[in-house]
Structure 1
């Protein structure tokens, strides 16, 4: 390891360079000056909304090729004014997580192994089960003949990674289907 001269001490560098407050070149090393921000490698910047809660903070998503390289707060957003909470700041990990699934996984009843399904098959299975359960548990009227038009057999638990628009549409869909138990993870 090379010995450093006392002339390289940061306080002496401050006074020698005229950077008395220590906010300029006196406090940066050659290594620090050589660093390049991740945003410099991006091909394009896409404006988005944070997926985690109902606040709707603005994000700038930096993309290089087809890979998200950085996510920062959008200073033009009237909601967040460039700030993100810890979850919003870490949302790049949601996109680039090594364990992220890119196909539909299904484990049949009493099965011990997961299997892959194509999307159309999975959607058809969900729709068939939804409609059958709704038909089987539908309550049109109560004992006195008052209209109910509901089902207790279908419920919805929305996720915190859905944005406001997605949660709004899910609420409308399940309400129109007669579901009474509609909740969101953010409220639990």
Structure 2
């Protein structure tokens, strides 16, 4: 009897034989082999999936965050996994080392979660409310702008500049947010405007 077997067919047949023999040698029968080949449920199947943008640089890579706990039901959601968003046009699922470590950034014990203030001459920080923080920031901005705003230069030309303050903008935001930030900062007369991406 003549068997016409190509090299590719021979390798497939030999591989299947090795796999079957190996399973048999390890004590697996047909039922056990089928059970061992069963695919278990994906570990993130019971989590809530949220899409977002990485917080680090101006590339604005897409990320998918997985959390457990129903926030709508008043439960605390625990972040358990972060990965790149394969559907995002910027990174197509890839993340740099900083983006891949975002979960550790979020869960860090030293992460600031509320506003803090250190009075002049004090050595310790004290917790304050968000309202107190906003009031303090607004007061500092107003006082500095009132004291240092330049309406006209030495030649008498109107310049409307505020040169003693600067603004550091976010980099992972939308074009619309960037436009509004630019308009807001420039309307106050701030010239020193930079972006987080270059810092």
TM-score by length of 2: 0.70
- Which structure's CA Rg is the greater one? 2
Indicate the residue corresponding to 1:8 in structure 2. Answer: none
Regions of 4+ moved over 2 Å: 33-41, 164-173
1:45/1:148 Cα in 2 relative to 1: closer, same or farther (>3 Å)? same
How far residue 108 of structure 1 moved from its aligned partner, in angstroms, is: 0.4
Q: How much does 1:56 deviate?
A: 1.5
CA RMSD of aligned residues (A): 2.7
Distance 1:68 1:164 in 2: 22
2:145 paired residue among 129, 134, 148: 134
What residue ranges of structure 1 are gaps of 5+ in the alignment?
1-13, 20-32
* Deviations, residues 122-162 of structure 1 (Å, cap 9, x unaligned): 11011011011011101111122211111112112346xx5
Partner residue in 1 for 2:63: 59
1:1-188 matched pairs, under 5 angstroms: 16-17=18-19, 39-42=44-47, 44-65=48-69, 66-158=77-169, 162-165=171-174, 168-188=179-199
**Aligned-residue offset at 1:99:** 1.7
Alpha-carbon contact 1:38-1:70 (below 8 Å) kept? no
Change (3 A) 1:144 1:111: same
Measure, in 2, the Cα distance between the counterparts of 1:152 and 1:74.
41
Q: Which ranges of structure 2 fall in alignment gaps of 5 or more residues?
A: 1-15, 22-37, 70-76
